[in-house]
């Protein structure tokens, strides 16, 4: 690591290209902490959006008209409004309506900016996941569901044990695209001062005046993160593939 730092410092001294994160320990720590926050946001929002999306798709087929209308309204609102506006609505709108709590002798918001970012981004992606799961569920033959009911499965058991596993296999390509978009959308958390990668890199270039170099690093970072996610999703898709089904 020291050799890498020395090389980048020499690069700066000879060419003026200042990748300070690779030779300055303080900048490296800030970048690494931002990357950890991005990974935390991505993993948390992906998991929550999948859970909410699957639950919403189940409720869309509910016999309760009120429940179906509620899910449809949720999908319409969160699909048709910009994610940045949603983040601002939750953080500046709902956040100001919640009571503050005591912490270390100070009054602090009940939910932090990180928590609001997770809630907002999860709901945004979940609205798309509801429709993606719904399309997969509709592709499952009705005879399969009828067979499950004939075997004594309840509606919930048939959904979780038979319908959803088959539906996921059909909708995985669309689901993969939405999760990749969600990872990239986590950069919007910067707008409410969540210390993720973009926020950390912005602090570094503001102090070191190395905007070009940090933008290269930022693009490379997200390119690698998205590449890893796409690889994992493709592995998942191949592992779940049933020959002759969903193709």
Evaluate whether residue 50 is within a structural domain.
yes
How far, in Å, are 76, 111, 190 from residue 88 at the CA level? 18, 14, 11
Domain boundaries, position 161: 2-240
Q: Is the entire prediction scored with pTM above 0.85?
A: yes
Task: Tell me how far apart the alpha carbons of residues 22 and 27 are, in angstroms, rounded to a whole number.
Answer: 8
Instruction: Tell me the pLDDT tens digit for each residue of 198-231.
Output: 999 999 999 988 999 999 999 999 999 999 999 9
Alpha-helix residue ranges (DSSP H) falling in the chain: 2-15, 25-60, 65-79, 83-88, 95-97, 113-139, 142-150, 155-158, 164-185, 197-208, 211-240
Residue 183 near residue 37 (C-beta atoms within 8 A): no
Residue 130 near residue 75 (C-beta atoms within 8 A): yes
Domain CATH code at residue 190: 1.10.3720.10
For residue 17, what is the enclosing H or E element?
none
The mean pLDDT of 185-192, rounded to a whole number, is 96
- Residue 243's pLDDT is 65
Evaluate whether residue 150 is within a structural domain.
yes
Among 159, 148, 168, 195, residue whose Cα is nearest residue 41: 195
What's the number of domains the chain is made of?
1
Q: Residue 159 carries which DSSP code?
A: I
- Residue 159's pLDDT is 83
Task: Tell me how far apart the alpha carbons of residues 226 and 187 are, in angstroms, rounded to a whole number.
Answer: 13
Evaluate whether residue 245 is within a structural domain.
no
Evaluate whether residue 8 is within a structural domain.
yes
Residue 95 near residue 116 (C-beta atoms within 8 A): yes
Instruction: Tell me the pLDDT tens digit for each residue of 30-73.
Output: 999 999 999 999 999 999 999 999 999 989 888 889 999 999 99
Query: For the CA atoms of the chain, what is the radius of gyration?
Result: 22
> Cα 113 to the chain's mean position, in Å?
16
Evaluate whether residue 247 is within a structural domain.
no
What integer best gives the mean pLDDT of the chain? 90
Evaluate whether residue 213 is within a structural domain.
yes
Evaluate whether residue 236 is within a structural domain.
yes
- Residue 244's pLDDT is 61
Query: Is the pLDDT reported for residue 172 higher than 80?
Result: yes
Evaluate whether residue 7 is within a structural domain.
yes
Residue 52 near residue 126 (C-beta atoms within 8 A): yes
The mean pLDDT of 182-211, rounded to a whole number, is 95
Q: Residue 189 carries which DSSP code?
A: G
């Amino acid at each position: 690591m020291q050799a890498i730092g020395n090389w980048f410092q020499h690069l700066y001294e000879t060419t003026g290209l200042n990748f300070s994160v690779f030779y300055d320990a303080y900048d490296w720590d800030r970048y690494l902490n931002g990357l950890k926050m991005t990974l935390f946001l991505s993993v948390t929002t992906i998991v929550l959006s999948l859970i909410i999306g699957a639950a919403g798709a189940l409720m869309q087929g509910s016999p309760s008209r009120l429940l179906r209308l509620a899910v449809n309204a949720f999908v319409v609102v969160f699909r048709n409004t910009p994610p940045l506006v949603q983040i601002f609505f939750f953080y500046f709108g709902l956040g100001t309506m919640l009571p503050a709590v005591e912490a270390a002798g100070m009054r602090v918001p009940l939910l932090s900016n990180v928590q609001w970012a997770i809630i907002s981004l999860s709901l945004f992606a979940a609205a798309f996941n509801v429709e993606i799961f719904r399309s997969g569920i509709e592709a499952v033959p009705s005879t399969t569901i009828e067979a499950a009911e004939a075997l004594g499965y309840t509606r919930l058991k048939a959904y979780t044990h038979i319908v959803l596993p088959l539906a996921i296999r059909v909708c995985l390509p669309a689901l993969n695209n939405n999760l990749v978009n969600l990872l990239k959308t986590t950069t919007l958390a910067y707008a409410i001062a969540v210390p993720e990668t973009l926020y950390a890199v912005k602090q570094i270039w503001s102090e070191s005046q190395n905007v070009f170099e940090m933008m290269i690093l930022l693009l490379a970072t997200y390119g690698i993160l998205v590449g890893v996610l796409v690889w994992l999703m493709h592995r998942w898709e191949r592992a779940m593939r049933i020959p002759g089904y969903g193709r």
